[in-house]
Amino acid sequence: MNTSSFPETFRLALCAFNLGMGGRSREAFLAGVSQRLARAHAQGAELLVLPEYLSEAFLAWKPKGLKPTEELAFMAAEAEALLPEMAALVTEHGVSLVAGSVPWADGKGGFLNRAVAMLADGRSIAHDKLALTPFELDRESWLLTPGDKVVRFEFAGLSMMMLICLDIEMPALSTLIARDAPDLLIVPSMTSSLAGYHRVFGCAKARAVELMCSVAVCGVVGASPGTTQNDTNVSGAALYIPCEPALGYRGVVAEIAPIDGTRGEEPLLVADVPVAAIRSLRAGGAEVWPGNWSADHVTLSSE
């Protein structure tokens, strides 16, 4: 197998962003992102991943009297202003950035929950959350529109895809992705309790086994000073891989246990994706992996 076109490993950083430390202004927020990119760069990471609803940090400087039903529009407007500034920071630091997720106008009067990857080569890739939670379908607070596609993109010799939080819990999406599985699946998340954390992270680990790929997942912790909807956030960060003997059996490159961030903690996990080793396993070296296995030939019956 020709390995010259892709790296042996790919180093990334996963930041469990503490919303309580997001800053009280656009300028403070951008300064914080710059500091996190600098920290990732200092540790040799080529990509920094921030969590779902990073935009909750924007509520720290929201106008007085803003209603919960008006928060999506406010955060979307702030995102539109801030994302170009964040792209400039990517260029400055030479580290690509998955800028968590933010509300984004869908062009029809509604809003998507959009994750944006800003790559060091100047490209921008978007993923709109597909599976929405009951909270994201609440007309009295945040009412969102679901996305309808998964984008596969190439960067630094790897193929990558993004999913957001509940997306990773959907077996139907795993079956779809298996047709053209990426080297790295990136999953920004927001979970309010340990139950949500374990659902997302447990399913992320399962996807690594099913797809024979690496899955990077991280979530927000703490709470934004201006929040009206998300008073608690519990999460961590992890890089999961297939449970193969050649990869150390456990299916875990590295993980940081969940915390609530109420003491100002903000875990940063830097880890290496074993690109070449997993590609070799996909090519026929795996212990029992059946490849892109389909259940099309199976019937469900009852007696």
pLDDT at 209: 97
Q: State the total domains in the chain.
A: 1
Residue 146 lies in a domain: yes
Residue 65 lies in a domain: yes
pLDDT at 22: 97
Q: What is the pLDDT of residues 65-110, one digit of tens each?
A: 999 999 999 999 999 999 999 999 999 999 999 999 999 999 999 9
**Residue 2 pLDDT grade (very low, low, confident, very high; cuts 50, 70, 90):** very low
Residue 290 lies in a domain: no
Q: What is the pLDDT of residues 147-197, one digit of tens each?
A: 999 999 999 999 999 999 999 999 999 999 998 999 999 999 999 999 999
Residue 48 contacts by C-beta under 8 Å, 6 or more apart in sequence? 12, 13, 15, 36, 37, 40, 95, 96, 97, 98
**Residue 210 pLDDT grade (very low, low, confident, very high; cuts 50, 70, 90):** very high
pLDDT at 294: 87
Instruction: Read off the pTM.
Output: 0.96
Integer Cα distance of 130 and 147 in angstroms: 5
Residue 299 lies in a domain: no
Residue 194 lies in a domain: yes
pLDDT at 146: 98
Residues 230, 274 contacting (CB under 8 angstroms) = no
Computed over every residue of the chain, the mean pLDDT equals 96
Q: What is the pLDDT of residues 11-43, one digit of tens each?
A: 999 999 999 999 999 999 999 999 999 999 999
CATH number of the domain enclosing 92: 3.60.110.10
Beta strands at 10-15 and 184-189: parallel, antiparallel or unpaired: unpaired
Tracing tokens 């990857």 back to the chain, one arrives at: 117
Does residue 214 have a pLDDT over 80? yes
Residue 296 lies in a domain: no
**Residue 5 pLDDT grade (very low, low, confident, very high; cuts 50, 70, 90):** confident
Question: 22 lies in which domain range?
Answer: 10-283
Residue 249 contacts by C-beta under 8 Å, 6 or more apart in sequence? 243
Integer Cα distance of 42 and 97 in angstroms: 15
Residue 134 contacts by C-beta under 8 Å, 6 or more apart in sequence? none
**Residue 1 pLDDT grade (very low, low, confident, very high; cuts 50, 70, 90):** very low
Residues 100, 108 contacting (CB under 8 angstroms) = no
Q: Which of 251, 250, 253, 242 is nearest to 290 (CA)?
A: 242
Residue 5 lies in a domain: no
- Average pLDDT, integer, range 202-213: 97
Residue 104 lies in a domain: yes
